[in-house]
Amino acid sequence: MKAIVIHEHGGLDKLKYEEVDKPKISPGEVLIQVKASSLNHLDIFVRNGIPGIKIPLPHILGSDCSGIVAEVGSEVRQVKVGDRVTVNPGRWCGRCEFCVAGEQSLCPYFQIMGEHVDGAWAEFVKVPEESVHPIPGGLSFEEAAAFPLVFLTAWRMLITRAALKPGETVLIIGIGGGVAMAAMQIAKYAGAKVIVTSGSQEKLQKALSLGADVGINHREQDFAAEIAKLTGKRGVDVVVDSVGADTWQKCILSLAKGGRLVTCGATSGPNPKEDLLRIFWKQLSILGSTMGNQREFNELLRAFDTGRLKPIIDQVYPLAEAAKALQRLEEQAQFGKIVLTVS
Ligand SMILES: [Zn+2]
């Protein structure tokens, strides 16, 4: 089969579109004929190499996919050949205290497809049965490949970790990125008011047309000062951040008393100057979040079934042009998800 493979870590030139062996499934696994995959920032980290994480090389990239079940293992019961499916990219042991409690993303052996194990930028991918789900809400293959990682991440951040309530105000930093876009839709779905920031006026306009209530250009304005103005100095209830160092202090400043900051990444750096005075005086909660558990993935599928969530697709490329697609992501030129189709 054809796949996008890296043999060593490095730049875009390390991506090779080449012939590899089709995966062989074990009794509890499912072989999926991939129809579409999508790109995540994780793909760039994996391609570059992540300090402290050993990725077996050669390695197939890609954490998200949708497709048609081509083959099932002898012990598979819930999935059958021909099913149109999407995949939860998480992998877990199923036996530790966290897995038994239903908190798979806290599993000490937690892995992500495309990071620790071969991914889905390929014609076929093998997946454990429990990670395979019917495509919800009449989504296309492209849409069904665009939502799992980012929507699952944003769902756990807002619904579980921040326990977002209707009528609350959420500030989302850096609209246009996959998790931020998913967070915007989920916050609206949960009945919250949504304020987004971006350095691009075009991205702000698009976000407003998709349901954001307020857009702040963080290149032209101090977003913490704007939040103070917009909320009568009260601040927002929840901040969703994955930028880290560059925005952290302003995120803390933007929170109301008792507010919650949820972080799922640190694209600008992991060590911001911390503001402990404000954290204890305002009684803030700083919440970390990574991916999500099976219950959250199922809740997300039901939310898609209502038709009120819809992955926003930026551009679609054929699998062979993955390097070109990844370049667009690296340049942050995208608004929504970049998708790869597999013929
Ligand atoms: Zn476990």
What is the secondary structure of 74-133 as a DSSP string? TT--S--TT-EEEE--EE--SSSHHHHTT-GGG-TT-EEBTTTB--SSBSEEEEEGGGEE
**CA-to-CA distance for 254 and 241, rounded, in angstroms?**
12
Report yes or no: 79 and 30 within 8 Å, Cβ to Cβ. yes
For the chain, list residues with pLDDT below 50.
none
Q: What pLDDT is attached to residue 162?
A: 98
Condensed to tens digits (0 to 9), the pLDDT of residues 14-33 reads 999 999 999 999 999 999 99
For ligand 1, the distance from its centroid to the CA atom of residue 117, given in whole angstroms, is 16
**Secondary structure letter of residue 162 according to DSSP:** S
Distance 102 CA to ligand 1 centre (A): 9
Helix, coil or strand: residue 250: helix
Say yes or no: 142 and 234 in one domain: no
160 and 125 assigned to the same domain: no
What's the confidence (pLDDT) of residue 272?
92
Look at residue 267 in the predicted model and tell me its pLDDT. 84
Q: Which two tokens stand for residue 104?
A: 């798979």
For residue 182, which phi and psi values (nearest 5 degrees)? -65, -40
pLDDT for 187 equals 98
What was the pLDDT predicted at 69? Answer: 98
Q: Are residues 242 and 323 in the same domain?
A: no
- With 0-12 / 13-18 / 19 or more C-beta atoms within 10 angstroms meaning exposed / middle / buried, residue 215 is buried
Residues 109 and 168 in one domain: no
CA of 107 from ligand 1 middle (Å) equals 4
Q: For the chain, how many structural domains are there in total?
A: 2
Within this chain, do residues 131 and 14 fall inside the same structural domain, yes or no? yes
What is the Å distance from ligand 1's center to 3 Cα?
Answer: 29
Q: Give pLDDT, residue 343.
A: 80
Write the pLDDT tens digit of every residue in 165-216: 999 999 999 998 899 999 999 999 999 999 999 999 999 999 999 999 999 9
The reply to whether 302 falls in a domain is no
Give 96 Cα–ligand 1 centroid separation in angstroms: 4
Count of beta carbons in the 10 Å neighbourhood of residue 129: 17
Side-chain-facing half-sphere of 338: CA atoms under 13 Å: 25
Q: How far is ligand 1, taken at its centre, from the CA of residue 259, in Å?
A: 31
Q: How far apart are CA 160 and CA 292, in angstroms?
A: 9
- Which residues form the domain of 169? 152-288
Indicate if 135 and 174 belong to the same structural domain: no
111 plus 139 within the same structural domain: yes
Nearest to 168 by CA among 240, 80, 75: 240
Asked whether residue 305 is assigned to any structural domain, the reply reads no
State whether 260 and 277 are in the same domain: yes
Would you say residue 304 lies in a domain? no
